[in-house]
Amino acid sequence: MATQNLWLWNPTQAVCTRVPLSTKLAQKTSPAYPKVKRVICAESSQIAEQNTRRSANYKPNLWNYQFLQSLGNDPKVKKLEERASEIEEEVRHMMTSVDIEPLSLLELIDDVQRLGLTYKFEEDIVKALDEKIVLLNENQKHKGGVHATALRFRLLRQHGFEISQDVFKNFKDKEGGFDIELKNDVQGLLSLYEASYLGFEGENLLDEARLFSTTQLKSNLKEGVNTKLAEQVSHALELPYHRRVHRLEARRYIDIYEPKESHHQLLLELAKLDFNMVQSQHQKELQELSRWWREMGLTNKLDFVRDRLMEVYFWALGMAPHPDLSECRKAITKMFGLVTIIDDVYDVYGTLDELELFTDAVERWNVDAVNTLPEYMKLCYLALYNAVNDTTYSILKEKGHGNLSYLSKSWRELCKAFIQEAKWSNNKIIPGFRQYLENASVSSSGVTLLVPSYFLVCQQQDITDQALESLTNFRGIVRSSCTIFRLCNDLATSADELERGETTNSITSYMHENGTYEEETREELSILIDGEWKKMNQERVLDSALPKSFVEIAINMARVSHCTYQYGDGLGRPDYTTNNIKLLLVDPLPIH
């Protein structure tokens, strides 16, 4: 959500000042607001003069060790598994029935996915789409109107089938726009809207479809649609399904699906049973990780850092939701937990001289480097060194891949990006936007989370030189996902960062370079996010150097970025994510 204030350079007082957006600002070319490369903010200037350590005043941890250890331990899980296995076969039979109509099959597949059961039926879904949907004749393809066409398009693209945007040409009028007669088909408009987010770069027809469906859906909301559909429309307009965390959406959809007259009772029962079984597994993983977090002890020793184990596990779950990816979730949690702590060392507490020492120690990646560091940094360095080496061992044991050079390189690159931002901030420099984003996409820490994920989800044959080059040199879908991560983060955290004297974020750099207002800048960054999503959509369908299992994790990282920063800084302010965490990790579904 856009903030209501704007930070501007005031040359008279040589400080950054916050100006309400409603204020009539000087012309962009006015000499009173020249483009400058060095900016001194009042708060950071005072802090520098006082020579004191900064504090981000982070909110305390909401999920203590005792609470996490109390989760789960449901004695009925075994019975749930037995019942779920029985139902699973019946649902599979429904999907493979020779008599099922194409639209009914598409809606069944969509329900299966939205209920969080894709992983159980992935092969069945792909087979059904391939045998019963791809080969439909022209008459069958357009039966069911825009709803059926859009649903077919979305599901095929989502599962890697090639399908042209031209399928939507049938819904255009003689003037070349979308037929206004569609305006009263709310379900069709909603399906068209959701399908438009699977577009590639250059697919203008899908851009038109998105604009048309968005405009008409907003109009329908104003005029009033039935309550249940209005809730779905509002939810989708806020953020489309394709960009949401799918396990969280499954928890929400179960509540929506149950009252539907047309729901399949067995499918609903399976979704509830599966949700609780998988939640129980996640709770056990959390308990194990909470013991590791407490034994590491950094948050007890360093009072300036974020204590966010639950939030980073939620993030890991968003990236790797498949139940079989337990080791991947644990690795992501450990790496991201350490990222939040070391990021606070660079952003909040460390002096530039200390940060140079820490960056050099990580560059050397030698346990003896600890002797060059101040006491509080020794704890951080040894915790990082041990965790990365332990993760390397786990991957080697689990998958047989040698990977230490790649994991340690990801941390070297991250710390170099951190120190660059620290130098910009310390010297009150606002870098050019592209220069900032090139560095900031690395400092997002996305690659640090993706590297162990790659080795944990890939088979030996998937580890190719081309794939490793894409991964370690920041190419393709890796770059796009990390860029989305960074931009979502900056859109949520920029105001707090400016408050504590930092000058480097994408909003500040873009405004400074282009002379734009904050509101306009946020719109431009949203367009950039949209462009990166189109690149990921295309790589997902067309040939990628990276295996499909990893591509999904990279896309999921973009999704959990949207989720974590949708209403503000979900890591700095954990209360923003409390409800989502309760839904997924604390409260089981009632099953009668």
CATH code of residue 390: 1.10.600.10
Q: Does the pLDDT value for residue 575 go beyond 70?
A: yes
Radius of gyration (C-alpha) of the chain in whole angstroms: 25
- pLDDT at residue 137, as a whole number: 65
Quickly state the pLDDT bin for 543 (edges 50, 70, 90). Answer: confident
User: Which range in 2-6, 302-306, 450-454 is most confidently predicted, on average pLDDT?
Assistant: 450-454
- pLDDT at residue 275, as a whole number: 96
Q: Does the pLDDT value for residue 226 go beyond 90?
A: no
Task: Find the CATH number of the domain harbouring 265.
Answer: 1.50.10.130
Angle at 183 (CA atoms; ends 179, 185), nearest 5 degrees:
110
Quickly state the pLDDT bin for 4 (edges 50, 70, 90). Answer: very low
- pLDDT at residue 142, as a whole number: 67
Last residue of a domain, one of 251, 270, 289: 270
DSSP code for 6: E
Q: Are 50 and 296 in contact (CB under 8 A)?
A: no
Answer yes or no: do 54 and 81 share one domain. Answer: no
What total of structural domains would you count in the chain?
3
Reported as a single tens digit per residue, the pLDDT across 58-86 is: 888 999 999 999 997 666 777 888 899 99
Rounded to an integer, the average pLDDT of 170-178 is: 92
Closest to 513 measured CA to CA, from 422, 441, 434: 434
- Residue 280 inside a domain? The answer is no
- Residue 591 inside a domain? The answer is no
Quickly state the pLDDT bin for 497 (edges 50, 70, 90). Answer: low
**pLDDT, greater one: 497 or 318:** 318
The three-class DSSP label of residue 432 is: coil
pTM confidence score: 0.90
Answer yes or no: do 370 and 224 share one domain. Answer: no
**pLDDT, greater one: 421 or 543:** 421
CB-CB neighbours of 523 under 10 Å: 12
Q: Are 402 and 342 in contact (CB under 8 A)?
A: no
- pLDDT at residue 581, as a whole number: 96
- pLDDT at residue 37, as a whole number: 32
Could you list the residue range(s) of the whole structural domain that residue 460 is in?
A: 49-58+305-586
- Residue 285 inside a domain? The answer is no
- Residue 148 inside a domain? The answer is yes
Lowest pLDDT segment from 6-20, 22-36, 331-345, 400-414:
22-36
- Residue 24 inside a domain? The answer is yes
Answer yes or no: do 368 and 234 share one domain. Answer: no
Rounded to an integer, the average pLDDT of 139-161 is: 88
Rounded to an integer, the average pLDDT of 517-540 is: 96
- Residue 300 inside a domain? The answer is no
Instruction: For residue 429, list its beta bridge partners.
Output: 38
Reported as a single tens digit per residue, the pLDDT across 180-194 is: 999 989 999 999 999
Quickly state the pLDDT bin for 25 (edges 50, 70, 90). Answer: very low
Lowest pLDDT segment from 137-151, 279-293, 310-324:
137-151
**pLDDT, greater one: 1 or 365:** 365
Q: Does the pLDDT value for residue 249 go beyond 60?
A: yes
Answer yes or no: do 139 and 235 share one domain. Answer: yes
Quickly state the pLDDT bin for 398 (edges 50, 70, 90). Answer: confident
Q: Does the pLDDT value for residue 143 go beyond 80?
A: no
- pLDDT at residue 45, as a whole number: 38
User: What is the percent of the chain where pLDDT is above 90?
Assistant: 71
- Residue 65 inside a domain? The answer is no
Answer yes or no: do 167 and 89 share one domain. Answer: yes
Lowest pLDDT segment from 95-99, 281-285, 327-331, 390-394:
95-99
Give the length of the chain.
Answer: 592
- pLDDT at residue 399, as a whole number: 87
Answer yes or no: do 41 and 54 share one domain. Answer: no
- pLDDT at residue 10, as a whole number: 41
Rounded to an integer, the average pLDDT of 477-505 is: 85
495: its two tokens: 């105001």
Q: Does the pLDDT value for residue 270 go beyond 70?
A: yes
Distance CA 277, CA 265 (A): 18
Quickly state the pLDDT bin for 436 (edges 50, 70, 90). Answer: very high
- pLDDT at residue 41, as a whole number: 39
Distance CA 220, CA 19 (A): 36
Answer yes or no: do 262 and 391 share one domain. Answer: no
Question: In whole numbers, what is the pLDDT of the chain averaged over residues?
Answer: 87
Answer yes or no: do 38 and 83 share one domain. Answer: no
Amino acid, res. 214 = T
**pLDDT, greater one: 229 or 215:** 215
Last residue of a domain, one of 270, 296, 321: 270
Distance CA 294, CA 298 (A): 8
Distance CA 478, CA 483 (A): 9
Closest to 477 measured CA to CA, from 405, 406, 558: 558
Rounded to an integer, the average pLDDT of 359-377 is: 96
Amino acid, res. 114 = R
Answer yes or no: do 11 and 85 share one domain. Answer: no
Distance CA 69, CA 378 (A): 29
Quickly state the pLDDT bin for 40 (edges 50, 70, 90). Answer: very low
Answer yes or no: do 564 and 438 share one domain. Answer: yes
Answer yes or no: do 20 and 84 share one domain. Answer: no
- pLDDT at residue 11, as a whole number: 33
Answer yes or no: do 129 and 185 share one domain. Answer: yes
- pLDDT at residue 254, as a whole number: 96
Rounded to an integer, the average pLDDT of 545-559 is: 95
- Residue 289 inside a domain? The answer is no
User: Which range in 292-306, 394-408, 483-497 is most confidently predicted, on average pLDDT?
Assistant: 292-306
Q: Does the pLDDT value for residue 13 go beyond 60?
A: no
Amino acid, res. 310 = M
